[in-house]
Structure 1
Amino acid sequence: MADSWLGPCPSRSPSLILTLSFPQFPWRSHSMSTLRSQNPKHFRCYSFSSIPNPSPVMPSLLVFSGGTAFNGVVEELKNFTTRVAHVLPVSDDGGSTAEIVRVLGGPAVGDIRSRCLRLADKSSSEAVAVRRLLGHRLPLDSRQAKSEWYDIVEGEHSLWTGVSKPYRETIRAFLVYFQNQILRRSDESFCFSNGSIGNFFFAGARTFFQSLDAAIFLFSRVSDIPSESLVLPVISTNDRLTLGCELWDGTIIRGQNEISHPTKGYMEPVNKESSSFPALPSRIKRVFYMSSEGQNLLHEVFPAANQSVLDQLRNVDCVVYAMGSLFTSICPSLVLIGIGEIISSRSCPKVLLLNGSRDRETSGFSASCFVTAITDALNRTYGNPHNCLANLPSQYINTVLVPKGGEIPIDVQHLAAQGIFNVIVVDSIHDPKAGVVFDPKSLIQALVDVIGRYTSTNLTAVV
């Protein structure tokens, strides 16, 4: 593989960005060049040969993400390691999740269900059948949706084909329980339009066990997720959580959907293309949690971070801030007390996967703006002054991976001023809906090299 530089390569040039191309995967050694410096005005070029990890133990990662953007690389990531803690917010209030929360209350489960399905086993025909069933969405027409739902819950739908009796009875039991729960709330008319069968199963399990963690455990076993792959809600709760944001002009917006992609109705399918939505009146200053009935800053609440997330953060080999909606998918996990404290104390790769395009939340952003937003969230800069930290950006992020040809400007000098010198451009592909996105193989290989280089450097320092 040949490394190529965008621009000249004398050491005095401050505007060098590495382009990586990874035709092989996953453990072949590659020559790797990067940007490094102790002085923001003076970059050095050097070559590094990554080596395979001699240990049979796979590296462990913790990934902060939402339920959509990172899903595209989950399958490829499993080829590198299954020791991944997927940390997801529970504040989504769009689609069928919103309808479940409206009628049954509780945390949003859509992002968690989505990631669980991506991690689910596909090695047998039955595993594929279970995945197809739990990944199915009902028709948009409310009457057709209700009719199809009854066929499914009664076990008569063709989706049950290929699902053995033990699996069928287990899944049906929680779908029936979900149905009973909504029927008990006769004052609320539940709309099945565009409903996710996986969401209904998940909601049935959560309400039965009165535990989000127990529902995740059951779903993980039913969909046969590898035991070392963890899907963790950033807040372990059985209560409804509402996300709010404060804009720089003082405006308060309530609800994740209203912040990122407002729709006319709670069951309307979400089109996340940025051109579909009016621009925010000003940039987002911060996101925070609100009480269920709150409308302003006086109703801010401070839920505790899931202890399992904190425990994983203390021990993983790499922390990843995934691509996705910056303020509504990533930052809701970062603003909780304990998250910033642990990440800043760790000496490990801390990698930002930069988006390939802007959205309603990040209009006009450059790469350094993403770093600033993540730093402010982890420092809780604009929240309760008694809870604020004052850590530097480089204590939270030490590597930025950039999709080649993306829309976000890479302001290298500003990143250097933030203490971030390792900026790597990774091969990309064009998605018809999302635009420029990381090529999954190249992205995972880039993570392989980052982790391998860091491990090798540390071992050399110890020696």
Structure 2
Amino acid sequence: MQIKRRLKLPDPVRINRYKRVPELGPKLLFFSGGTALNGISRTLKAYTHNSAHLITPFDSGGSSAILRQAFDMPAIGDVRSRLMALADESLLGHPEVYQLFSHRLPKTASHTTLRHELAGLVGGSHPLIAAVPMPMRGLIQNQFHYFALAMPEDFDLRGASLGNLILAGGYLNNNRELDPIVFLFSKLVNTLGHVTVSTNEKLHLAARLEDGRIIVGQHMMTGKEVDPITSPIIDVFLTTSLDSMEPVDVPFPLRRQDLVLEADLICYPPGSFFSSVLANLLPRGVGRTIAENGNPKVYVPSLGTDPELTGISPTQAVERLISQLKKDAGASTPTSQLLNFIVADTCFADYLDIGILKDHKIELVALPLARKNEPGKYDSQKLVDVLLSLT
């Protein structure tokens, strides 16, 4: 059964209702990755504690690369970042745990000094771990212990996030499964939402470029650690290692399917288009599951420059999104089952081809959503208000 209603954007009545009782707030689901959505997540948790965030575990750069090389594991940095963004930072939460998980080791300290600091975290003498009450302290120390046991002698601890070390230790301590330690981590920081990875598999992201090249590794696409790509990305796929160019098929886990099916709204949010958004849609079954959910699906394009969209127009990005979803859901699947709205700032909306959107029966919601002093970024409050109003 379908029920239609008139929308008011933003809808102050609906927004205020959610703010009064966020525990009963709507289930907004985000296919996300990276840090682009963290500010929006911090705003969102004041209105609902039921949002779900599917995070890509394919990062191959920065501190995630160091952990992946040392332990042959999925990337966990973006998961940790989103868990912290959704953590309860009030006195009702666990501020001492939040402080511990947010801390980074000094970048300039010596190898010996950092090993000594890690030993203090394992043994419980470090001030940050000592401030955590039992039994939580013991649980956290146990993860540090497993990390320290498995850590290679030449592992570089400079600038390491303690939250990442805890997740890595928990991964090794739980038969190389991410779900148990992510669940424990979320309980320790009292995460006001549900955060999980799109797949537990330790895979890498590869891209096929228009000029015929194939590049492997998320870090090769984002323009942060290597020069930005100069040829448009045709499509992306998953591989087993940075040395492989062979696509690998991986199923979308049943527990993630349930999150998608139960969502009141599905959002393809701002962030790196291919490595954050489309990468989440690669596991087999994602598109089909999205099509089975009859609630609104919303695409929120990034306002700033995205190196991954080199040579690709905003309208072409929309068509790439639809094409990726139909690869799994089926070419005959109506676009209305996969994407209903594009929510964007009024200035960005001028770059979209309204005729093509009408052909796809996609409605454009153009509102002043950019920050006043940073037009390349969304005002978190304004965007959250619109998303809540669509539920």
TM normalised by structure 1 equals 0.75
1:445 aligns with 2:381: no
Please report how far the alpha carbon of residue 390 of structure 1 lies from its aligned counterpart in structure 2 after TM superposition: 4.2
| Mapping of residues 4-403 of structure 1, within 5 Å | 27=15, 57-124=24-91, 127-141=94-108, 143=110, 145-146=114-115, 148-160=117-129, 162-182=131-151, 185=152, 189-210=154-175, 211-226=177-192, 229-237=193-201, 240-263=202-225, 278-292=227-241, 294-296=243-245, 299-380=246-327, 389-403=331-345
Structure 2 spans left out of the alignment, 5+ residues: 1-7
**Post-superposition CA distance 1:359-378 (Å, at most 9, x none):** 21013444322211211222
Please report how far the alpha carbon of residue 222 of structure 1 lies from its aligned counterpart in structure 2 after TM superposition: 1.2
Match of 1:458 in 2: none
**Post-superposition CA distance 1:17-54 (Å, at most 9, x none):** xx9678x686359xxxxxxxxxxxxxxxxxxxxx9999
Return closer, same or farther for 1:445/1:25 CA change in 2, 3 Å cut-off: farther
Please report how far the alpha carbon of residue 165 of structure 1 lies from its aligned counterpart in structure 2 after TM superposition: 3.6
Q: Which amino acid aligns with 1:205?
A: G
Q: Which amino acid aligns with 2:187?
A: R
How far apart, in 1, do the equivalents of 2:350 and 2:147 lie?
43
How far apart, in 1, do the equivalents of 2:196 and 2:331 lie?
25
Segments of 4+ moved more than 6 angstroms = 19-22, 51-54
1:420 aligns with 2:389: no
| RMSD across aligned positions (CA) | 3.0
CA contact (8 A) 2:58 2:205 kept: yes
How far apart, in 2, do the equivalents of 1:129 and 1:398 lie?
42
State the secondary structure of the residue aligned to 1:437.
coil
Please report how far the alpha carbon of residue 61 of structure 1 lies from its aligned counterpart in structure 2 after TM superposition: 1.7
Aligned-pair identity (%): 28
State the secondary structure of the residue aligned to 2:236.
strand
**How many pairs are equivalent?**
381
Please report how far the alpha carbon of residue 402 of structure 1 lies from its aligned counterpart in structure 2 after TM superposition: 0.7
Structure 1 spans left out of the alignment, 5+ residues: 1-18, 30-50, 264-276, 382-386, 452-463
How far apart, in 1, do the equivalents of 2:303 and 2:114 lie?
35
Q: Which amino acid aligns with 1:410?
A: L
Please report how far the alpha carbon of residue 295 of structure 1 lies from its aligned counterpart in structure 2 after TM superposition: 3.1
TM normalised by structure 2 equals 0.88
CA contact (8 A) 1:355 1:406 kept: no
Q: Which amino acid aligns with 1:159?
A: L
| Structure number having the greater helix percentage | 2
How far apart, in 1, do the equivalents of 2:14 and 2:161 lie?
35
Moved more, 388-397 or 414-423: 388-397
Q: Which amino acid aligns with 1:253?
A: I
Return closer, same or farther for 1:106/1:443 CA change in 2, 3 Å cut-off: same
CA contact (8 A) 1:430 1:436 kept: no
Return closer, same or farther for 1:293/1:447 CA change in 2, 3 Å cut-off: closer
| Structure number having the greater strand percentage | 1
Please report how far the alpha carbon of residue 405 of structure 1 lies from its aligned counterpart in structure 2 after TM superposition: 4.1
Please report how far the alpha carbon of residue 195 of structure 1 lies from its aligned counterpart in structure 2 after TM superposition: 1.0
State the secondary structure of the residue aligned to 1:86.
strand
